[in-house]
């Protein structure tokens, strides 16, 4: 009997209305207190192509993607063969038995529920017949997996509050499936869900919604963006939350401005214009958008204008796999734009960090007067994650950085926009309109002296460029520092990782531990790299670096920026577009260590 | 070329405006453009207009792209913030700045390359959004800064300096702006201050997107015989269809005109423009008629100038977006950040 530890996958047709039923299923498990990681695997298509919803349920909170399907809900004839193949030996196939299908595997258990027939008998409107099939298979699963039926019924009532007419037929459809399962099958199966308190006070939300909410709490007032998967929902979330939280009570007017720009060049241009003028502004995009924004990013770097960008990375290069995940824009973002340019990157690894880092990013961008790019990805951005609740430190204000007001300007003898007054490489700026006589300057992408005047004097340019390096070094101490996996290091080997890989690392470490491989871990959270990152690499003989791209881009950045002997960092890479699994990490490390993975004991679940 | 500060010496008898400022207070650094470049005259017209309007220079921001024309904001209004952005992208930067604080006045200066080619898309969308700004194109039919290539506003009949022919028709930016919905569209000539200064004053008093296409000859690359953007050609072929008088809010109108020959329009700040119709059946509030006029003159090989179109009814960006009245950049933690209870209830809704 397997309790609270399985992967279930729903194979559907895009546009058939399965998404909300599948989400209902995942949320019901979450409400039972069991950690859950739902993932949409969807095509770049609006209607008709296969789409999947994969859901890992794990009582220990190991929620990284795991290969091998324990239960397949196969609702799509198009992908039927492929779906059947994906089921682990001993696993289950739930299908619509209204239609007779050949099942060529005898090592799996089949559960046929005549979903179409049941729904056709119960409902009359064609659209309802179609939609409620989805609800009915969720109903069947509640019986088969022994799920708390009151919870799911309660969720239906919540979901359709205000549209009460819809409650009864939805519950009806749930019961159709559930009753059929209870009547014809031996319920529960030997895989089941059991109520637990493993979720605690955690919440279920996707990274993009968390980022959009973070921007509201960060005091962002201007958002300019151009639609692109998988980043669109950042702007949409910002807009939704603004409508709830940012309407002026007295006038009913908006304390925000959201512009759907004509392209990404305009989006970042608006962001730069607004930040230059003292409003907190951001954009959200993905790889192709970053490419387009590059020229402007160089301007913001050189003219020292704050900007916040969310890059929700997807599969590249070019249009690549727009609906799959990768961490393959590291180089493109770190060095975006021509000339000697570098940018601050922040790597959130769960929705809670998307929220926190949104707040952090605006403070950093204004403190450092430079673009800050939050490097999320499709897996984090578009899937719901079981994650820690959002917290706000109300004692902390917005750090608007070094901005002089009129009184301060009165006290300054001669204002120099690019003077390093404090020795940290960060100059003082002024907003337009501050003072009638002092503080005006000309922002330019051409070479300039400390007083923002145009210069072609090479030595002045060198001075400015070196101050920018100095400023970047100051940033090392301000960006989010790394997170250690252990209190005291005990191994000669280290493992570095960042972003969404984090979700698979604890499980990988446990599996490695079982194989007697001990490794210290550190999660990198920002570029430039703080000293602790260099120290960690220095203090280990061999360091693995897990990345979800082909070229080991973060490794290149580390080698380049910290002058590390390349051979010391062993890349552990996955870039097939699916989130990296613990097994992948373990196999690649074992292989690198010359240990035959099969011998050491195979993958976690696939062999069970 | 380097940054040359102008000596700030003040003649005691220079005339002062109502803020007690002289014209010198509205000037900028010494121009580094070619001697005789039309762009310098446009800068002078901007200085004159701001001086006469009694504008506090720090409440105005100068935006530009890249090109000889886009350099000019350094050469006027040194007490204003300026932003020399990237080639063709000034409209987006100006839009963002405008969203952050719409209490400032914005002057965007661009070139015909900057606007009609690389930045055509951004220009169109800034117009469409009715960004509250004055957008001036210093139109010389050529890429001055990159040494004289044809621009998209170079007329088909206009020859290059070495007699090269131009295969393509030109884009008329004023006609384009009208079609895209700009609420104030004029065309001027850098060599005609009398016409240009009042038009700039009216444009700066207008709320919404004000566009002025200023023919501004490039003396170095496009002022030869055979060019339709030369001083000489333009002087001979310009056809003013309106003459614009700008009348400040409390100023009295003295001159008298014949019935039907003038149109008075009150702008948002209660100043007025008096349009003297030099072409009797011209109606500047009718966009279709304005376009027809422009095209009619074009067919004759002439260029229609003056205030071509004016619509004071349309709303500007901030109103279209239903934003609060105070500038967004003036809002702080108290106005912008919801409290912890709000966040807690969001947490709750996600369980
Ligand atoms: C992305 C980019 N491409 C090309 C250039 C080179 N460039 C600088 S100015 C210019 C043309 C300027 O023409 P226009 O806007 O008409 O200004 P003018 O110099 O004629 O006043 C070009 C092509 C550039 N700065 N940036
Ligand atoms: S090249 Fe032409 S546009 Fe540029 S400064 Fe000289 S005259 Fe003016
Ligand atoms: Mg030009």
Please identify, among A353, A387, A421, the residue that sits at the C-terminal boundary of a domain.
Answer: A387
Find the domain containing A95 and state its range. Answer: 2-192
CATH of B23-334, one of 3.40.50.970, 2.60.40.1180, 1.10.150.170, 3.40.640.10: 3.40.50.970
Using DSSP bridges, classify how beta strands A109-113 and A69-74 pair: parallel, antiparallel or unpaired.
unpaired
Give the number of whichever ligand sits closest to the CA of residue B217. Answer: 2
Residues B214-243, mean pLDDT to the nearest whole number: 96
Q: Are residues A446 and A585 in the same domain?
A: no
Residue A607 has pLDDT above 80, yes or no: no
Q: Which ligand is nearest the CA of B109, by number?
A: 1
A142 lies in a domain?
Answer: yes
pLDDT category at A101 given cuts 50, 70, 90 is confident
Cα separation, A37 vs A386, whole angstroms: 7
Compute the distance between CA of residue A461 and CA of residue B329 in angstroms, rounded to an integer. Answer: 32
pLDDT 10s digits, A133-150: 999 999 999 999 999 999
Q: Can you tell me whether residue A107 is helix, strand or coil?
A: coil
Query: Which are the contacts of A301, defined by CB distance < 8 A and separation ≥ 6?
Result: A337, A341, A342, A343, A370, A371, A468
The pLDDT confidence band at residue A303, using thresholds 50, 70 and 90, is: very high
Residue A5's pLDDT band (cuts 50, 70, 90): very high
Mean pLDDT for chain A overall: 96
Give the confidence band of A110 by pLDDT, cuts at 50, 70, 90: very high
Same domain, A432 and A460: yes
Instruction: Provide the β-strand partners of residue B139.
Output: B215
Please provide the DSSP assignment of A172-204 as one string. Answer: HHHHHHHHHHHHHS-SS-SEE----SSSTT-EE
How does strand A384-387 pair with strand A203-206?
Answer: antiparallel
DSSP state of A317: S
Among B113, B120, B121, B136, which is best to mutate for testing ligand 1, by the most ligand atoms less than 8 A from CB?
B113
The predicted model gives A547-552 an average pLDDT of 98
Of B298, B31, B322, nearest to B175 by C-alpha is B298
Confidence band of A599 (pLDDT split at 50, 70, 90):
very low
Q: Is residue A47 part of a domain?
A: yes
Other beta carbons within 10 angstroms of residue B18's beta carbon come to 9
Six-digit token string for B119: 């930045």
> Between chains, do B328 and A449 touch, taking CB under 8 Å as contact?
no
CATH number at residue A159: 3.40.920.10
- 3-state secondary structure at position A196: coil
Average pLDDT over residues B199-205: 98
Residues A469 and A419 in one domain: yes
Q: Does A356 lie in the same domain as A324?
A: yes
End-to-end CA distance of chain A: 12
Would you state the pLDDT for residue B279? 81
Strands of A109-113's sheet in order across: A36-41, A50-58, A5-13, A69-74, A87-96, A109-113
Question: Confidence band (pLDDT; 50, 70, 90) for B10?
Answer: low
Q: What pLDDT, on the 0 to 100 scale, is given for residue A14?
A: 87
Predicted pLDDT at B254: 73
**Taking residues A117-139, what's their average pLDDT?**
96
Q: What is the 3-state secondary structure (H, E, C) of A74-109?
A: ECCHHHHHHHHHHEEEEEEEEEECCCCCCCCCCCCE
Task: Give the per-residue pLDDT at B321.
Answer: 97
pLDDT at residue B11, rounded to an integer: 73
Q: What is the pLDDT of residue A45?
A: 84
pLDDT of residue A603: 34
Is the pLDDT at A210 greater than 70? The verdict is yes
Inter-chain CB proximity A449 and B95 less than 8 Å: no
Q: Which CATH number does the domain housing residue A591 bear?
A: 3.40.50.920
Which one of A340, A358, A387 terminates a domain? A387
- CA dist., res. A546 & res. A418, Å (int): 39
Closest among A512, A507, A493 to A600, alpha carbons compared: A512
The CATH number of whichever domain residue A277 belongs to comes to 3.40.50.970
**Which one, of B160, B206, B210, B171, lies nearest residue B188 by Cα?**
B210
- Which band of pLDDT confidence, cut at 50, 70 and 90, is reported for residue B4? low
Smallest CA separation from ligand 1 atom 16, residue: B113
Instruction: Give the pLDDT confidence of B63-110 residue by residue, as tens digits.
Output: 999 999 999 999 999 999 999 999 999 999 999 999 999 999 999 999
**CA nearest B152: which of B143, B144, B163, B165?**
B143
The kind and range of the H/E element at A131 are helix A126-144
- pLDDT score for A608: 27
Of B97, B321, B350, the CB nearest to A277: B97
For residue A67, tell me if it sits in a domain. Answer: yes
Alpha-helix runs per DSSP H in A68-110: 80-86
Kindly state whether residues A211 and A181 are assigned to the same domain. no
SS3 A32: coil
Q: Do A147 and A283 fall into the same domain?
A: no
CB atoms within 10 A of CB A471: 18
Q: Indicate the residue among A192, A227, A248 that finishes a domain.
A: A192
> Does the pLDDT at position A97 exceed 80?
yes
If we measure between CA atoms, which residue out of B317, B92, B332, B321 comes closest to residue A256?
B321
Taking all residues of chain B, what is their mean pLDDT, rounded to a whole number? 94
**Are both A10 and A48 inside the same structural domain?**
yes
Q: Please tell me whether residue A428 adopts helix, strand or coil conformation.
A: coil
Least CB–CB distance from B100: residue in A217, A222, A456 = A222
The alpha carbon of residue A313 and the mean position of all alpha carbons in its chain are separated, in whole angstroms, by 8
> What are the tokens at A130?
């179609």
Total domains, chain A? 4
User: How does pLDDT run across A550-598, given as a tens digit for each residue?
Assistant: 999 999 999 999 999 999 999 999 999 999 999 999 999 999 999 865 5
Say yes or no: A424 and A473 in one domain: yes
User: Does residue B67 have its Cβ closer than 6 Å to ligand 2?
Assistant: no
Complex confidence, ipTM: 0.96
Residue B9 has pLDDT above 70, yes or no: no
State the residue for tokens 């493993």: A198
Provide the greatest CA pair distance for chain A: 87
In a domain, A66, yes or no: yes
- Report the alpha-carbon distance of residue A322 to residue A326 in Å, rounded: 10
- Return the pLDDT at A604: 31
pLDDT at B278: 85
Average pLDDT over residues B281-291: 91
Burial class (CB within 10 angstroms; exposed 0-12, middle 13-18, buried 19+) of B32: middle
pLDDT tens, residue by residue, B296-350: 999 999 999 999 999 999 999 999 999 999 999 999 999 999 999 999 999 999 9
In this structure, the answer to whether residues A518 and A431 fall within a common structural domain is: no
Rounded mean pLDDT, A235-245: 98
Residue A266 and residue A297 in one domain: yes
Q: How far is CA B1 from CA B40, B82, B140, B222, in A?
A: 16, 19, 22, 22
- The string of pLDDT tens digits covering residues A160-203 is 999 999 999 999 999 999 999 999 999 999 999 999 999 999 99
């Amino acid at each position: 009997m397997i309790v609270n530890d399985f992967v279930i996958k729903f194979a559907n047709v895009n546009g058939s209305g399965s998404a909300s039923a599948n989400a209902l299923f995942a949320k019901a498990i979450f409400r039972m207190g069991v950690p859950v990681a739902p993932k949409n695997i969807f095509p770049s298509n609006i209607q008709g192509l296969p789409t999947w919803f994969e859901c890992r349920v794990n009582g220990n909170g190991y929620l990284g993607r795991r290969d091998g399907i324990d239960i397949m809900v196969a609702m799509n004839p198009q992908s039927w063969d492929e779906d059947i193949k994906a089921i682990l030996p001993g696993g289950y196939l739930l299908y619509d038995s209204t239609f007779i299908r050949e099942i060529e595997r005898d090592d799996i258990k089949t559960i046929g529920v005549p979903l179409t027939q049941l729904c056709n008998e119960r409902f009359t409107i064609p659209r309802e017949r179609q939609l409620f099939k989805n609800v009915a298979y969720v109903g069947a699963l509640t019986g088969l997996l022994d799920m708390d039926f009151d919870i799911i019924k309660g969720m239906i009532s919540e979901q359709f509050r205000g549209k009460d007419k819809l409650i009864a037929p939805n519950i009806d459809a749930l019961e159709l499936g559930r009753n059929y399962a209870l009547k014809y099958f031996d319920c529960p199966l030997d895989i089941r869900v059991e109520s637990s308190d493993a979720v605690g006070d955690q919440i279920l939300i996707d990274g993009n919604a968390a980022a959009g909410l973070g921007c509201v709490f960060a005091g962002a007032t201007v958002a300019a963006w151009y639609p692109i998967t998988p980043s669109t929902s950042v702007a949409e979330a910002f807009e939704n939350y603004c409508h709830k939280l940012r309407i002026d009570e007295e006038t009913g007017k908006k304390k925000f401005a959201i512009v759907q720009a004509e392209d990404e060049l305009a989006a970042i241009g608006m962001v730069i214009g607004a930040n230059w003028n003292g409003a907190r502004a951001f954009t959200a995009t993905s790889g192709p958008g970053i490419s387009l924004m590059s020229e402007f990013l160089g301007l913001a770097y050189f003219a020292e204008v704050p900007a916040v960008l969310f890059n929700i990375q997807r599969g590249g290069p070019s249009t690549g796999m727009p609906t799959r995940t990768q961490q393959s824009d590291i180089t493109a973002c770190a060095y975006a734009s021509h000339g000697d340019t570098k940018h601050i990157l922040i790597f959130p690894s769960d929705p809670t960090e998307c929220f926190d880092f949104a707040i952090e990013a605006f403070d950093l961008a204004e403190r450092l007067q430079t673009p800050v790019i939050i490097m999320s990805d499709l897996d984090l951005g578009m899937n719901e994650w079981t994650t820690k609740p959002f917290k706000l430190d109300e004692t902390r204000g917005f750090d608007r950085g070094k901005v002089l007001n009129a009184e301060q300007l009165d006290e300054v003898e001669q204002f120099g926009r690019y003077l390093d007054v404090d020795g940290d490489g960060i100059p003082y700026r002024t907003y337009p309109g501050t003072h009638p006589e002092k503080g005006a300057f000309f922002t330019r992408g051409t070479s300039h002296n400390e007083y923002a005047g145009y210069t072609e004097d090479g030595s002045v340019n060198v001075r400015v460029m070196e101050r920018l390096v100095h400023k970047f070094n100051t940033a090392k101490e301000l960006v989010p520092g790394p997170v250690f996996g252990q209190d005291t290091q005990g191994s000669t080997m280290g493992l570095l990782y960042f972003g969404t890989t984090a979700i698979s690392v604890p499980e990988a470490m446990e599996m490695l531990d079982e194989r007697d491989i001990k490794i210290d871990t550190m999660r990198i959270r920002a570029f430039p790299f703080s000293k602790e990152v260099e120290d960690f690499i220095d203090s280990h003989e061999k360091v693995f670096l897990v990345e979800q791209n082909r070229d080991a881009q973060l490794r290149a950045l580390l080698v380049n920026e910290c002058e590390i002997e390349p051979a010391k960092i062993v890349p552990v890479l996955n870039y097939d577009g699916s989130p990296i699994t613990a097994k992948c990490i373990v196999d690649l490390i074992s292989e690198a260590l010359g240990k035959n993975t099969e011998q050491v004991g195979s993958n976690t679940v696939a062999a069970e | 070329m380097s940054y040359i500060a102008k000596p700030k010496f003040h003649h005691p008898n220079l005339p002062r405006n109502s803020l007690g400022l002289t014209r010198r207070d509205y000037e900028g650094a010494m121009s580094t453009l070619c001697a005789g470049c039309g762009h310098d005259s446009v800068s002078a017209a901007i200085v004159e207009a701001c001086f006469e309007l009694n504008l506090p220079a720090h409440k105005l921001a100068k935006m530009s792209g890249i090109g000889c024309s886009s350099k000019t904001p350094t050469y006027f209004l040194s007490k204003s913030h300026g932003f020399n952005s990237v080639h063709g992208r000034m409209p987006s930067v100006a839009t963002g700045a405008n969203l952050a604080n719409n209490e400032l006045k914005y002057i965007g200066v661009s070139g015909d390359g900057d606007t009609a080619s690389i930045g055509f898309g951004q220009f169109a969308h800034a117009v469409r959004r009715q960004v509250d700004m004055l957008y001036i194109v210093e139109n010389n039919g050529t890429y001055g800064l990159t040494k004289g290539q044809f621009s998209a506003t170079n007329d088909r009949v206009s020859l290059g300096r070495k007699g090269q022919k131009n295969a393509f028709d030109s884009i008329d930016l004023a006609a384009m702006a009208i079609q895209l919905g700009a609420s104030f569209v004029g065309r001027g000539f850098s060599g005609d201050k009398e016409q240009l200064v009042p038009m700039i004053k009216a444009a700066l008093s207008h709320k919404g997107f004000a566009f002025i296409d200023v023919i501004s000859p490039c003396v170095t690359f496009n002022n030869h015989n055979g060019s339709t953007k030369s001083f000489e050609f333009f002087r001979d072929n310009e056809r003013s269809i309106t003459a614009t008088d700008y009348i400040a809010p409390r100023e009295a109108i003295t001159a008298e005109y014949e019935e039907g020959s003038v149109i008075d329009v009150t702008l948002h700040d209660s100043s007025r423009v008096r349009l003297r119709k030099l072409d009797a059946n011209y109606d500047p509030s009718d966009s279709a008629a304005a376009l027809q006029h422009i095209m009619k003159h074009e067919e004759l090989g002439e260029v229609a100038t003056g205030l071509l179109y004016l619509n004071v009814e349309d709303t500007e960006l901030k109103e279209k977006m239903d934003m609060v009245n105070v500038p967004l950049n003036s809002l702080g933690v108290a106005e912008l950040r919801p409290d912890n209870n709000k966040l807690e209830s969001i947490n709750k809704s996600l369980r």
